[in-house]
Structure 1
């Protein structure tokens, strides 16, 4: 099995436990470029940055950060994680990532999503009542742009375009467009019918609970005649890596609680994180992957094997950590965790 291992991030800017201060958005964005470069140096396969429009996440334009990261890297794939397609212009989105594809010599990807966070909708003048229609129409438009240089498009929520070319074109002949989902069966079915690769955000429950969804996706894409190369499955989970297992567990509680508590302010179905809930989340019954390289590799292997994944993102970190510690965690991921995981699946 050829497993791709990577990192996802939102560029979190929560309060640091040791200083009581938060990194500024400018500091965090600059740090992300260094993290991309290091991830490339230690041999990780992919780096993804998500789009948000709120104070506790620094990145509203992941394509710009990824473009900066493309310049001094040579092999790592660069993807959004996610681009909120529902509140974006598909023409502009394609152009942006085709530009990153040029800068990186064919290493860019788009991961499109409906938007778990909805701040972008009023910000860009979209009605949440059109939530599903916006995504479906814009995804169809994006896929047509990918396939045809000259765009002919009749829009309802999008512009109508009459035989206008879209440039630049991506370097990759089959430019990768993934679709992310939080785990709704309806989303899984839509993505399967489109024959697009899928990414599951595994956060609040054990990875094994996503297996029925993955099985539905695999069965549908196979029955519809899509190839395994077209229909890859990825997942991302929160995580952290340290030299010492217990020290890593202890250190990661504060940033995880900061992020969870911030989200809970806006979402009725989220609650502030207790220490007991945190320990549950990093146990075998939870989604988070935290510990020393051996422990992290083992849980990552179990997640990948259970779901039959082609790609896995460790969201590292989910809340702000001192940047030197983040860089060390990336080193541990590339130099100790990834070799263990790859060696295991090389024998499969």
Structure 2
């Protein structure tokens, strides 16, 4: 199993004093986080795309290009690229640059986007939400496979036998499909034979087993090589040396963000009782001591048979030192212990 971190590079008020970091400070902290993740042996670092004031990064490829020259081994991914509102040609070119700078460590995690600010910003109609993604994914896959391309679609000007450059360092860029639990997205990823990243940020993970079973069954029926099967589980979480201290430290920033999003989307506000239920073994939140997180990852692996686990750590602003310590614990304690346990099981 591969281990990594995802972040939206949030910049929310410090729960202790209400202050905001400057965008420069937040970006500087992000570079520290990526460098440390590389140093402690984590496999992946993924940066999300947003176009709103509470998240700093609107162009993951630019940030990952900076990280490429500061790291040696870690894979650098978007998490996600909102492909529906972007130009697949530009996405491919941008990540080809990241791939060249990193000597073959770039990945694209493509999604439809759960935040919709980019659609009106770039002149896209939300009524085309589904067809935008399916058409642009088709083009991105074609670009990845061929240097020259002829293509025609509904939402983008046609391309007549044009070369697209630069080409990446790898023969092809790994393209993951990020899904939130809609069957259509699951089937799309499996039919193309692309690896799938399933975000589980609420409820009980066991409820998502039918989606991963659907993915595996469709992947097999489509005739794809089982040896190339890849499935990631992406979940919110935080690790501390002490379980109770970790839970207390994470609750304030987490509750702030989830309650704010709840007001926007019609969810109930976060409270401590619900938070503690989510922290339980059968819940979706990976918050606590290294051993608690280890046990929970192994429990989820029994459910899903996933090949990658990504911890979305900074849902709300946490002290920088605490985030760095959590990254260190994930890389030096949690990941090695889980990998060893899985090796013994096989």
Shared fold by TM > 0.5?
yes
Cα displacement (A) at 1:155: 2.2
* Structure 1 stretch displaced more, 237-246 or 55-64: 55-64
- The equivalent of 1:277 in structure 2 is 274
SS in 2 for 1:265: helix
**Aligned pair in 2 of structure 1 residues 266, 336: CA closer, same or farther (>3 Å)?**
same
Distance 1:74 1:305 in 2: 32
Q: Is this contact kept in 2: 1:32–1:65, CA < 8 A?
A: no
Separation of aligned partners in 1, 2:107 and 2:78: 7
Q: Deviations over 1:45-97 (max 9, x none)?
A: 00001101111111111111111111021110000000000000000000000
Residue segments in structure 2 that go unaligned for 5+ positions in a row: none
Structure 2 CA distance for aligned equivalents of residues 74 and 206 of structure 1: 36
Q: Is the 8 A contact 1:304 1:312 kept in 2?
A: no
Residue 107 of structure 1 is matched in structure 2 by 105
Tell me the residue number matched to 1:287. Answer: 284
RMSD over aligned Cα atoms: 1.1
Match of 1:237 among 232, 235, 238: 235
> Deviation per CA, 1:137-166, whole angstroms, max 9, x where unpaired?
000000010011112111210121111100
SS at match of 2:11: coil
Residues 196 and 230, structure 1, Cα contact 8 Å, conserved in 2:
no
SS at match of 1:52: coil
1:61 partnered with 2:59: yes
Distance 1:47 1:229, change over 3 A: farther
The partner residue of 1:266 within 259, 264, 276 is 264
Helix, strand or coil: the match of 2:150? strand
Q: Which residue of 1 aligns with 2:191?
A: 193
Which moved further from structure 2: 332-341 or 278-287?
278-287
State the partner residue of 2:76.
Answer: 78
Matched, 1:121 2:109: no
1:327 to 324, 327, 339: 324
SS of the residue aligned with 1:298? Answer: helix
TM-score, structure 1 normalization? 0.97
| More off after superposition, 336-345 vs 278-287 | 278-287
Q: Distance in 1 between matches of 2:218 and 2:153?
A: 29
Counterpart Cα distance in 1 of 2:256 and 2:53: 13
Task: Give 1:304 deviation, angstroms.
Answer: 2.2
Question: How far off its partner does 1:18 sit?
Answer: 2.3
Task: Describe the SS at the equivalent of 1:15.
Answer: coil
Measured in 2, the distance between the counterparts of 1:225 and 1:163 equals 30
TM-score by length of 2: 0.97
* Whole-angstrom CA distance in 1 between matches of 2:158 and 2:176: 25
Deviation per CA, 1:224-265, whole angstroms, max 9, x where unpaired? Answer: 210134431111000001110111011111011111022112
Aligned positions, number? 345
Q: What SS does the corresponding residue of 2:309 show, helix, strand or coil?
A: strand
Task: Report the alpha carbon displacement of residue 26 of structure 1 after superposing the two structures with TM.
Answer: 2.3
C-alpha distance in 2 between matches for 1:272 and 1:52? 22
In the aligned structure 2, how far is the partner of 1:273 from the partner of 1:179?
A: 29
SS in 1 for 2:241: coil
The runs of at least 4 consecutive aligned structure 1 residues that moved more than 4 Å come to none
